[in-house]
Structure 1
């Protein structure tokens, strides 16, 4: 390669070669230099063009727009979301200053302790009304909340602290005594008002709790925790900031206290007040530091504006309850156990067992409304899983768990569910490795998977009991029922609403009429005023349950009205497993009754016209014969006529004519069938006479009655006929006492088969 060689080089090389060699060499060198220069320019131009195209790529432009666009969560309140979005988009130094300093806190810097400040306790609607009046005209408040989650599955807001700097007074709102609708009605307009600045520390959880418990969204907040992080403070907790700026120390022992207790301890009251009294002064100090930092370090947007917009983005968080899957819960417990040496290395674990235990803990905790840790800590769950064996009994499990558990919760809430825990431990499964390789990895359905699908198919998807209370006209507890019945009473104006639940549905009503108490005074008076739990009465399983009729429906359906109405004590809740056991026991007793009375379990009652199955086939056949007519093949026509003939007490296909077809279609409620009948009768009328016996007179003579909708085919055949005959036989030979003996007999068989441990209070074998 000789590019870049000058004139002198080619003169020296060209000595002896002549001028032509020198000229040719020089020209070639110049050409190579020019080519190299152009190539370099083209590469640079391509690079710049490529970078420009990349910069202006549509996807990149969309991504940049999305990064700068404030998204409102789908489940967020549209009005509040748009307001917060407007606060963020319009934020600049002047606007933020006007929002952060609507009025200067009159209280100054609080250094002497919170006990010198005034406060009022709000636990009634008049108190909320006075608080609302005190907040009118205020442009700034301090806010905080106290929450409890240990003895609650989802957690519960116990206290709202509101400090009004302009009046130097704090309000402690008792969120337990007050209804969520009342808090939303009186405080919602203030908390969602963009003209009122809410100073708060660590608003992330408070925003979610307000949405979950009160359906209230915070608008225009200033989160001092976000400011401390932007200023890169070593510690951003409120306790650390109070020590740094005010020399005040908070009592951390009250952070995990039970804030549900009433009345609150004086130390808890002081702790709650300290969370809000120092926030106005802390806001002024941190805002001054933000301004100084923004003047010293030039950046866009400034930290002053960034702190405000970050606070508004916290307010855009939305509450959404998500249940963790049992697989993820089991794996997290396993990882935690290995990390803390609760599980020895090399120990084979059954992932399906851990999954069942995690699911049991989650379901029971939700049913009895406690946290997972309060129900059974992770360490105890690991020890239970490692000790699972076929020799484990309910007694040995009780002895093992008792030292580890909270004694009050254990005795009152956990002990009834030990049977379901034992069943989860002893379920037959093969041991698999931590990778979970087994039959499922090869695409095969194991017995457990099939069983789970079966349970999911038949279990109730909604609670069996809503525990809604009905009061008598005098205000005494009368009974418990579901929400649907309460809504019906209110719709028919037969009752007056007394109380609603947190979702706005009726929970307690009072009847407007004097009820008939004869039935309750005569039989099982203690059952009706008691609330029933949504768990299996046999083993205590809180999930996968369905209702079970202790007295089979085939008998109860035929009882006199006095014995079958208002008998809710004959209906209990059973899990799928106990339901199968009770069903098998009831079937055995039904077989015994069938042998004793010589009444077969499977029978057909044809004394009242055709059954639904026979009539349906006859109706379909008549439609085909009426529409297709002579176009039907002979063999198929004979089959269709036989189906029609079966509806007329089994006449042969040769005896069936168009009159039978018209009679079947005339008994139908179908508009299409009526059109076919009209067309057939019109054709007969135009043709003259009653061809093929299809005239109106002949069809009226052989009319067939459509089966009554009140007695469908399944109740005109099989065990329903058996039940009707048994009840009729018992009433004829023994009267009502024979039916009472039948009820006691089925109740005894139910108790013998399951040995239920959680029957409702007042339930007994007696029928009186």
Structure 2
């Protein structure tokens, strides 16, 4: 009997070890060598301020050029190709749900001819042979949002980077409205991928082997277009833009990886996630609980969020109540609470002993707060203001030589390429149309037309600053987007350039005037339509369903039932959706809700609508619907702009009555 018992016990132990190894992978991490860090900083300081911009053709991704590298000999065979490349596109797929730090699963490197998918799990140690390539200052490594990728390379392999280009920073410097990689693909590479699909692929199981063909194609795509994007964006960038990207990427490369929990890190988390005022007491409580969670997660090798959700930690810190009964059920059931309940209660009591100091700033001297404010302002100036010329002042003439208007280089190029105009002068550029335009001028009033037939100065209309500026809408877009088409056309008169200081002043006065408008028309500033509320509710349920799908194996049974119950309550309270879910099981409903396209399908029960205009704040739309004299409304905003900012450098042709007296605008 004893022998059978021992065999049974051995089987149980083996099974337990197997499950434990499945739950928390044993991942090896390689530290950064001090000598390499010193050399890296020397290389960074010796880099030129500008980049060598590649000239590459736009070539769609060909599956035959994707090479999956999973053996040491395969990795060794590609090193010479990588070393001889002047530019390499880089991307990383990481997974962190079953470990404390997270770990790189796949490293994608793209050269002119091939895209290599390097298996970072099977080649954990061998990847160290790539160190010289990432440290080579003559090879430009091209990332998108390089901060995370460079930090992960340091964390996992002790790999430091020198001479990198970041397409996200490039997009920022060019003033793009969106900075996502799929937006850049659409804009420059003629390739479309929905944000929803990209997010789904980003959070897929990159730790599982074998990788699906879909995962391999997606991973290759992330790195494939990097070289082309650098080429096309680099040629659009000014010298100042390129210098800005160089400065920022050098900072990213020089930054040391650290997972240490300190006061500043906790404060950043609070500022990002807490909806309540930050004071000395809740900051101290959160810091203590946050540190507890980090130590426990590290000990168990669990991802910190699976030990306890940051949301519930913030709730407890903000409530400041040491009574265990006041804790949310989800917090009490967490791994953190089960291990450190008494310590959490003591942390709250200790935090309450600190004198209450209500402040959203980090605790410190007044000089430190001023210095941080100045640093934030400097970062804003560098990232968001326009430093290149906004107005190219290219002249467009009618066939008889009459000046019609001034336009940008892109517009004149469009006419010339289609042989609709001929170039009269290169510098300054003047083109003459080969056809008689359909009506000369935008207005029957001579004073209005004069505004378009004069050059525009690249300077702040408020103070005359010529170094950096932002566009400012005199009549806010909040209202103008709902104007009739003839009032929206030729709106450049009401879009002026302001430096950051004048822009801030104008915005403050504009906000005050909006409140006055809201009161006059009896439409609250934050007014949302029923369709917006329905969308918020549906997407709230979608978030729960994604959590159910993504964390299904790790969620406690009671938490899973709680989330499923919320889905059922939503269905019970919204019978208008029942027909679309008839006969569906809970699992089928969860799967459907997790897909964005299906959520959009649900919203169609409210009829056709414009996603851009009808989903957001409806204040502007409701005000415009109530306006009886649109010309007077436009004029009020222009007068308000003149009176509050008192701009000294407006063009002479700028007028509060611009286009308002023309018969074309009735």
Superposed pair shares fold, TM > 0.5: no
Which structure has more relative contact order (CA 8 Å, sep 6+)? It is 2
> TM-score normalised to the size of structure 1?
0.37
Larger Rg: 1
